[in-house]
Structure 1
Amino acid sequence: MLHATQHADLPSGELDSALRGGPFHVALRAAIAARGLPLQRVQHHLSRHGVKVGVTSLSYWQQGARRPQRPESLRAVRALEEILQLPDESLIRLLAESEPHPASGRRAARSYRSLVEASAVVDRLRAELGRPADSGLHTLGHHECVRIGARRELAAREAHHIVRAHRDGVDGFLAVHRGDPGCAPRDMRVRALENCRTGRVRFDHDSGVLVAELLFGTRLRAGDTFLFRYAVEDGTARAAREYLRGFDVPGGQYALQVRFDAAALPVRCHRFTQHSPAAPRGGRQELPVTAPHHCVHVVEPRIRPGVVGIAWDWQR
Structure 2
Amino acid sequence: MNVHSADSGTSGELERVLHTGPFHLALRAAIEARGLALHRVRHRLALRGINVGVTSLSYWQQGARRPRRPESLSAVRALEDILELPAESLLRLLARTDDGIQDRPASRSYQTLFERSDVLRTLLAQLGSPLDGGLHTLDHWERVRIGACRELLSRSSQQAVRAHRDGVDRYLAIHHGDPGCAPERVRVRAGENCRVGRVRWSTSAQLVVTELLFDTRLRSGETYVFGYAFEDGTGGVSHEYVRGFSFGGGQYVLQVGFDAAQLPVRCRSFARTSAGARPSATQELTLRGESRTVHLVRHPAGPGILGIGWEWA
Report deviation, 1:54.
9.9
Match of 1:133 among 131, 137, 150: 131
State the match for 1:207 in structure 2: 205
Alignment of 1:111-260 (within 5 A): 115-117=114-116, 119-260=117-258
What do residues 14-33 of structure 1 show as CA deviations (whole Å, max 9, x unaligned)?
Answer: xxxxxxxxx99xxxxxxxxx
Contact 1:161 1:227 in 2 (8 A): yes
Q: 1:88 corresponds to which residue?
A: none
Deviation at 1:289, TM superposition (A): 0.7
TM-score when scaled to structure 2? 0.65
Following TM superposition, by how much is the alpha carbon of 1:272 offset from its aligned partner in structure 2, in angstroms?
1.1
Contact 2:270 2:280 in 1 (8 A): yes
Show the counterpart of 1:89.
none
> Secondary structure of the equivalent of 1:124?
helix
Q: Which moved more, 1:240-249 or 1:196-205?
A: 240-249
Larger-gyration structure (1/2): 1
Distance across 2 between alignment mates of 1:273 and 1:260: 21
Q: For the residues of structure 2 that align with 1:314 and 1:54, how far apart are their CA atoms?
A: 36
Q: CA deviation at 1:56?
A: 3.8
Report the CA distance between 1:74 and its aligned residue. 4.3
CA–CA separation in structure 1 for the residues paired with 2:111 and 2:161: 25
Q: Could you say what the CA RMSD is over the residues aligned between the two structures, in angstroms?
A: 2.7
Aligned to 1:72: 109
Greater RCO between the two (CA within 8 Å, min separation 6)?
A: 2
Distance 1:55 1:281, change over 3 A: closer
Stretches of structure 2 that go unaligned for 5 or more consecutive residues are: 1-7, 10-15, 27-85, 90-106
Q: C-alpha separation between the residues in 2 aligned to 1:54 and 1:229?
A: 33
Structure 1 residue 285: Cα displacement: 1.2
Code of the residue aligned with 1:252 in structure 2: it is G
Residues 276, 305 of structure 1: 8 Å contact kept: no
Q: Separation in 2 of the partners of 1:55 and 1:294? A: 42
Matched residue of 2:109: which SS? helix
Question: Is 2:115–2:275's contact at 8 Å kept on the other side of the alignment?
Answer: no
Aligned-partner Cα distance in 1 for 2:134–2:256: 29
For residues 226-305 of structure 1, the aligned pairs below 5 Å read 226-305=224-303
| Residue 264 (structure 1) shift | 1.2
Cα deviation for residue 55 of structure 1 reads 10
Summarize deviations over 1:188-223 as a string: whole Å, max 9, x none. Answer: 000001110001100000000000000012111111
What letter matches 1:196 in structure 2?
C
Point out where structure 1 has 5 or more consecutive residues left out of the alignment.
Answer: 1-22, 25-52, 76-111
How many residues align? The count is 219
Counterpart-to-counterpart distance in 2, 1:214 and 1:281: 31
Which ranges of 4 or more aligned residues in structure 1 deviate by more than 6 Å? Answer: none
Pair 1:57-2:20 in alignment:
yes
**TM-score (normalizing by structure 1):** 0.64
Q: Letter of the 2:115 partner, please give it.
A: V
Contact 2:115 2:276 in 1 (8 A): no
The Cα shift of 1:273 comes to 1.3
* Identity within the alignment, %: 50
2:148–2:261 CA contact under 8 A, matched in 1? yes
Distance 1:191 1:123 in 2: 23
- Residue 171 of structure 1 aligns with an amino acid whose one-letter code is D
Distance in 1, Cα, partners of 2:141 & 2:280? 22
Quote the Cα distance in structure 1 between the aligned partners of 2:297 and 2:17.
33
* Cα displacement string for residues 120-169 of structure 1 (whole angstroms, at most 9, x for unaligned residues): 21111111011122211121011111000111100000011100111111
The whole-number CA distance in structure 1 between the counterparts of 2:237 and 2:110 is 32
Q: Is the 8 A contact 1:253 1:303 kept in 2?
A: yes
SS in 2 for 1:116: coil
Q: Deviations over 1:88-126 (max 9, x none)?
A: xxxxxxxxxxxxxxxxxxxxxxxx9xx332x22111111
